Chains A and B, each alone.
Chain A
Amino acid sequence: MPENVISLAARRRFALSGLALGAAALAPHGAKAQTPAGPAQASGPIVLHGVSPRLTVHALDTFHGTAATGLRIDFSVREGDGFKLLRTVTMNGNGRSDEPLLIGDSYRAGDYELLLHVDEYFARKQSRLPTPPFLSKLPVRIRVANAAERIHLPIQFGPWSYTYSRGS
C-alpha cells in the first residue's frame, strides 16, 4: 500500500529528528553558551519531583528568549515591617541559582522577597530602553505557608512585563 510506504518514511523522518534533538540535548552547555541570543534551549529539563522541601527559583528573559544568566537577585526575609537580606545570588547558565534559596533547616514558613536587578541585567545586554527603564529593581514577594511543601518559583520577565507563579 502506497500509504504505508509514505507513513513508514514519515515515521523514519520523525525518528531521525528525534535523534537529532537527543544529540542537541546532550551537547555540553559550554557549546550552547557560545551561540548569542538563542532560544532558551539551554534550560534542559530538571526534575524536582520527589526532592526534599526547598525553595528554588528559575528566571527566564522573555525579551531575548534565554535563561536570565547573570541576573542578580537579592533574597530577603520579612522581619517586622521590613526585609532582612539573607544573601545575593546570581543566576547560572540555566537561569537558576546554583543552590536552592532555602533548603533543610533554612526552609521555614514566612514572607520572603526576591529583588531582581533587571535594570542592571538589561543594561549589560545593551538593550535600548527609556531612562529610567519601566522596570528597574523588581520585587517578587512570596509566602511560604507550609515548609513541608517544596516551592519552585519560575519568573519570566522582559523590560515591560513579568509573570511569576508556583511551579513544579
Chain B
Amino acid sequence: MSTFYFIAFLSIFFSILVITAKNPVHSILYLILTFFTFTIHYILMNAQFLAIVNFIVYMGAILVLFLYTLMLINLNKDSEPRKSNLVKIAGFIGGGCFLVTIIAALKAFNVSQPVLLNNPNLGLVKNLGKILFNEYLLPFEVSSILLLSAMVGAVLLATKEPKTV
C-alpha cells in the first residue's frame, strides 16, 4: 500500500520538475522518469501489457523522438525567454482552479471504494488480445491507417521544400 503512495509522490515530483526545468533536455529526462513511474503504477495494477507498451512506446519511441528533435533544432543560443510574472500567476491560478474543481466534484460524489482486482488476468496479453481481436478488430485496423498517414504526413512536413523562386 505504501508503495503506491511513494510512487505517486515520485510521479508528482518529477512532473513538477518537467515543467519547471530551465533546460529542455533536463525536462525531457525528467519526463522519462515520470513515465517510468507510470509504468510502475501499471505494474501495481497488474496491467502488464500496458506496462510493457508504455515502457516501449513512450520511453523508447516518443521520448527518443523528442530528444532527436531537440538535437535538430539546436537551442544553444538562449534557452527560452521567460514569460512575465503576470502570465505565470495567471497560469497557476488557471490550473489550480481546475484542480480545485475536480477535488470538489470528488468530494461531492463521495466514491471511495478500494480498487480491487477481482480477475487477476485482466490486464495480461492473452486476455487483452482476445478482446482486441474480437470486439475491436475494426478500430485496430483503422489505427494502422492512422499510423501510416501520420508517418506520411511527418515525412511530408519535415522535408525541405524546393526553392520556388
A binds B: no
Interface residues of B (CB under 8 A from A): none
Interface residues of A (CB under 8 A from B): none
